[in-house]
Structure 1
Amino acid sequence: MIVASPKTSKHAVAMTLLLLWAMTHQAHGQATVNFTFPSYDLADDTANLIQNADYLDSFFESLIQLKTTGRGKVNIIHLGDSHIQADFITDVVRRNFQNDFGNAGRGLIVPGRVAGTNEPNNIRTGSTTAWKAKRCTYPEQPLPIGIGGITVNTEESDASISIKVDNTLNDYSFSSVTLFFQKDPSSYSFSVNDVTGQELGITGPYEEGMANVSHIELNNCVDQVSIQAVKSNDDQKQATLFGIELENGNDGVLYHAIGVNGAKYKHYNAAVHFAKQTAALKPDLFIIALGTNESVEYPYLDPTLLYHIDKLVQSLREVNPETKFILVTPPDAFRKKVKPNPGVEKIRNQIIQYAVENGLAFWDFYKVAGGKHSAAKWRAKGILRPDGIHFTKEGYAYQGNLLYEAFIKTYNRYVGLRHP
């Protein structure tokens, strides 16, 4: 409260109040985000919000701090299935976040091509060695699964994996590399080398009690390295790699996409190292977008789905106790390419039920995309593929923009209420 003394002019008081008002509204203006994108007019705009958003207050505060000061990092892990593995959705969301809140790097990647599967367009991996591979969707096969949901393994002591980022749409050059790999007396170490073969850093020898993760700082930003196996004694017989994180050392957002073709909730639960290794990424938010593959077997639906949702959430929460969760419902889809699939709505209802009963946030993409029979409308627009389940690149980009719009609408409402 400002009290005018006899010597204080009314003009001075008015100017002080005006200054305070301007400072407050300037901070509000700096915190909010304006976002527009090309639309196919398929979405339910009124439904496109993050539901139970009060649960996300601390996450929104982290974003406000980042937006207004330019300092800090916000880490988001987006977990899913084939809709996520290609990174079409998450590439759009990542670039939107980083355009508005700062670019801290590409984040977690998996060498998909080396594993014999698809990988995002903004990275390219390769190897002259044939690596064994396993996806989390085949839990009965050998090889453990870690943070990336896909594992590669070799017994070749001179094996290497090349990694190059594509900076066409966003600068993903990096100054640090974090390797997630099996560390035990039988495992090779790894070095990180530049394009000339010059060693930039090495994970070092195994020591008892070491976690399956090593962080290597580079002297400057690069857009290409190779990960080289290093054998230092005869006890070392193999190398097993779970994932690679790339950062640039800047403040901003790291948006990690983890997706595996065919994945269900139960597959991540069966991955022995998955939940524990997420702690190394220090996530502020998990976005879990699963459910499509649980619905494709309709009329059979797994009666243990709620159990598997809870098991995954609890295992991630155990090692990340402060992290928030958003559950995403799957979009409408066809079965056998042309038949409506009532199973999608049933799975959607169970995901929402779990979120509501456990106080988690959720994005009801099933409703946002148009609800029952909306797959036919997406197909008519030419952005649903002939299989009736997957989308074109343009369809996925539209989904990524819808998700980011839901974030920003909900975030801006929070800013207006808590930081008027």
Structure 2
Amino acid sequence: MQKALSFHHRFPALRWLIARSWIFALMQVFAWNPSVAAPVEIPSDIGIRPRMNRIQFPDREGANRLNERLRRVRSLGLRIVHLGDSHVQFGSYTEGLRDRLQHTYGNAGFGLVFPYSAARTYTPAGYSTEHEGEWECAKSRRVPPQLPLGVVGMTCRTTDPAASFTIQMKRAPKADSRRLRIFCARNAEPMTLGIEADGKLIKAVIPAAAEDDPVFIEAILPRAARQLTIRPLEGLGPEAPFEIRGVSIERVGPGGVQVHTAGVGASRYWALLHMAHMEAELAALQADIVVIDFGTNDYLYYDTIEPGLEQVIRDSVAKIRAAVPQALIILTSAQDLYFKKVHVTSGRDFAALVRRIAFEEKVAFWDWFWVAGGPKSLPRWQEEGYARTDGVHLTPKGYYLKGELLAEALVVSLKWMEKHPRAKQLEILQPTQKKRPKADASKPSKASATKPRGNYQIHVVSVGESLWTISRRYNVTVEQLKQWNGLKRTTLFPGTKLKVYPSR
């Protein structure tokens, strides 16, 4: 007597289909669950401290809000803006962050790109740029900037009818990366742009200026393109320039992660206070996380933390918070540095300063200085090929690793906060260090009581200079400069002329 066949024996094809569906479902669960993401492979010889690799939260509010966002990332998406200096502009740092998060949560597009060749500077990893015609450009490294700046920190302007710029992506974009948001200025009359996407031309119109204008125009490509060329077609003139502040390449449809690269080499913290369109563009990008990643150029050259830096950082936080009140702001410390082969010792003080500001201002903090190894750790990075010989910058693989570690810190820290609902904050203490006595520039030195000798020279104060930086330049003291020029305060204004006598 034949045994009755089971359902699965009768329909083997259906059994295979059901099994495949279960496997696919499990893959989706694991793909969207950060708790099962493979840990970053950390080289053993460069001094990274994995247990310190956490985003520190002074309270639960930001972490809870972001955890809720991640639970709905497939429908709402997650948008990160990465502001910084050359470490960010190189692109590999943000690329590591982007790749890891998009692999876990989905790809919502490459994010911001810019015609860096027109600005005569290097293009971040991930794409290349070319341009035609004459362009006038400004960068946030110069304060005040020559042109109004937005999130990217650079602006290019042209009145040349032959002008254009081309973006060439190094990876083929996802099929649904068809939305362009072009951040540009408006003129009294409309302007027509030509957008050539892999050889296919479409047109987009920049409307005439009016009140409450959005800071961008939008164009939908017929298909995702690896090469984009943008040029003004109509409406360009001597009094009607084409002014570009960036292009965001985005997914059509909801969900996934965007990470916007916005770094400018040699920029300092105060650059954020001189970017006229930054608030409006952050709001337009609907940033959920803003990483503020400056500091290197604020203390590298003179190995000191200027007294005014703390207020600049606080003002920068306030400016960004006003623009995107619901965003999680993450401050960072800078890596161990060497300038002209001399160790820069202020990295530890800067890390402590930023940590204190973060907890007082109720924003998050990533202590990269200590995560990466702390004082005098950079030579180990250099020996293993993760840092350049200049003692300041990392190599592409070093920056990529840093970006992966930032992504991991974010995910692991959020999961920790979720698993510990009674924890009021997440704080990682810095390794015990001996406190060093700090020089007090306000106390007069013996040299300040002496009368000046010899012929003096005139120093004209530039934007961003302080009595401290000028004193270091001429090898004199702050108190001497104040005495020679009859100054009662340390505040300086651009254009002020100072007498500087020879140092003895």
Answer whether TM exceeds 0.5 for this pair. Answer: yes
> 1:31–1:415: 8 Å Cα contact kept in structure 2?
no
Shift of the alpha carbon at 1:274?
A: 2.0
The reply to whether residue 192 of structure 1 matches residue 195 of structure 2 is yes
Query: In structure 2, how many angstroms separate the alpha carbons of the residues matched to 1:365 and 1:393?
Result: 17
The superposition leaves residues 307-335 of structure 1 with CA deviations (integer Å, 9 ceiling, x where unpaired) of 11111111111121111111111011112
State the structure with bigger RCO (CA 8 A, min sep 6), 1 or 2.
Answer: 1
AA at the equivalent of 1:316 = I
> 1:113–1:126: 8 Å Cα contact kept in structure 2?
yes
Query: In structure 2, how many angstroms separate the alpha carbons of the residues matched to 1:28 and 1:223?
Result: 26
> 1:221–1:248: 8 Å Cα contact kept in structure 2?
no
**Identity fraction in percent:** 25
Alignment partner, residue 19 of structure 1: none
The reply to whether residue 45 of structure 1 matches residue 50 of structure 2 is yes
Shift of the alpha carbon at 1:28?
A: 12
Query: In structure 2, how many angstroms separate the alpha carbons of the residues matched to 1:259 and 1:28?
Result: 30
> 1:187–1:238: 8 Å Cα contact kept in structure 2?
no
AA at the equivalent of 2:213 = M
The reply to whether residue 292 of structure 1 matches residue 299 of structure 2 is no
> 1:291–1:348: 8 Å Cα contact kept in structure 2?
no
Query: In structure 2, how many angstroms separate the alpha carbons of the residues matched to 1:231 and 1:352?
Result: 51
Could you say if the C-alpha distance between residues 343 and 217 of structure 1 is closer, same or farther in structure 2, counting changes exceeding 3 Å?
same
Alignment partner, residue 87 of structure 1: 91
AA at the equivalent of 2:323 = V
> 1:276–1:316: 8 Å Cα contact kept in structure 2?
no
AA at the equivalent of 1:45 = P
Alignment partner, residue 381 of structure 2: 378
Query: In structure 2, how many angstroms separate the alpha carbons of the residues matched to 1:129 and 1:137?
Result: 24
Alignment partner, residue 10 of structure 1: none
Shift of the alpha carbon at 1:399?
A: 1.1
1:267-416 matched pairs, under 5 angstroms: 267-336=271-340, 338-416=341-419
Match of 2:152 among 145, 148, 158: 148
Alignment partner, residue 61 of structure 1: 68
Q: Name the SS for the 2:353 alignment partner.
A: helix
Query: In structure 2, how many angstroms separate the alpha carbons of the residues matched to 1:31 and 1:99?
Result: 10
Query: In structure 1, how many angstroms separate the alpha carbons of the residues matched to 2:267 and 2:180?
Result: 27
TM-score (norm 2): 0.72
The superposition leaves residues 6-55 of structure 1 with CA deviations (integer Å, 9 ceiling, x where unpaired) of xxxxxxxxxxxxxxxxxxxx899946332223321221111111111733
Query: In structure 2, how many angstroms separate the alpha carbons of the residues matched to 1:361 and 1:117?
Result: 31
Query: In structure 2, how many angstroms separate the alpha carbons of the residues matched to 1:127 and 1:28?
Result: 39
Q: Size of the alignment, in residue pairs?
A: 389
Shift of the alpha carbon at 1:71?
A: 2.1
Match of 1:125 among 117, 125, 129: 129
Q: Name the SS for the 1:153 alignment partner.
A: strand
AA at the equivalent of 2:318 = Q
Query: In structure 2, how many angstroms separate the alpha carbons of the residues matched to 1:212 and 1:90?
Result: 24
Query: In structure 1, how many angstroms separate the alpha carbons of the residues matched to 2:32 and 2:158?
Result: 53
Query: Greater shift after overlay, 342-351 or 158-167?
Result: 158-167
Shift of the alpha carbon at 1:376?
A: 2.3
> 1:52–1:361: 8 Å Cα contact kept in structure 2?
yes
> 1:77–1:283: 8 Å Cα contact kept in structure 2?
yes
Query: In structure 1, how many angstroms separate the alpha carbons of the residues matched to 2:152 and 2:113?
Result: 7
> 1:276–1:319: 8 Å Cα contact kept in structure 2?
yes
Could you say if the C-alpha distance between residues 233 and 347 of structure 1 is closer, same or farther in structure 2, counting changes exceeding 3 Å?
closer
Regions of 4+ moved over 6 Å:
26-29
Could you say if the C-alpha distance between residues 220 and 380 of structure 1 is closer, same or farther in structure 2, counting changes exceeding 3 Å?
closer
Shift of the alpha carbon at 1:349?
A: 1.5
Query: In structure 2, how many angstroms separate the alpha carbons of the residues matched to 1:52 and 1:236?
Result: 49
AA at the equivalent of 2:252 = G
Query: In structure 1, how many angstroms separate the alpha carbons of the residues matched to 2:84 and 2:124?
Result: 14
Work out which of the two has the higher radius of gyration on C-alpha atoms and give 1 or 2: 2
The reply to whether residue 258 of structure 1 matches residue 265 of structure 2 is no
AA at the equivalent of 2:168 = K
Q: Name the SS for the 1:226 alignment partner.
A: strand
Match of 1:72 among 73, 76, 80: 76
TM-score (norm 1): 0.86
Alignment partner, residue 454 of structure 2: none
AA at the equivalent of 2:55 = I
AA at the equivalent of 2:197 = D
Q: Name the SS for the 1:96 alignment partner.
A: helix
> 1:124–1:163: 8 Å Cα contact kept in structure 2?
yes
Query: In structure 1, how many angstroms separate the alpha carbons of the residues matched to 2:32 and 2:153?
Result: 40
The superposition leaves residues 102-127 of structure 1 with CA deviations (integer Å, 9 ceiling, x where unpaired) of 00000111211221111123122222
The superposition leaves residues 219-278 of structure 1 with CA deviations (integer Å, 9 ceiling, x where unpaired) of 332222221213337674311111110112142001111100011110121122223321
Query: In structure 2, how many angstroms separate the alpha carbons of the residues matched to 1:202 and 1:220?
Result: 19
Shift of the alpha carbon at 1:284?
A: 0.7
AA at the equivalent of 2:51 = T
> 1:83–1:390: 8 Å Cα contact kept in structure 2?
yes
Q: CA RMSD in A?
A: 2.5
Shift of the alpha carbon at 1:58?
A: 0.6
> 1:146–1:272: 8 Å Cα contact kept in structure 2?
yes
User: Which 5+ residue runs of structure 2 have no aligned equivalent?
Assistant: 1-28, 422-504
AA at the equivalent of 1:347 = F
Query: In structure 2, how many angstroms separate the alpha carbons of the residues matched to 1:377 and 1:391?
Result: 12
Alignment partner, residue 161 of structure 1: 165
The reply to whether residue 240 of structure 1 matches residue 243 of structure 2 is yes
Q: Name the SS for the 2:96 alignment partner.
A: helix
Alignment partner, residue 22 of structure 1: none
AA at the equivalent of 1:255 = V
Query: Greater shift after overlay, 130-139 or 239-248?
Result: 130-139
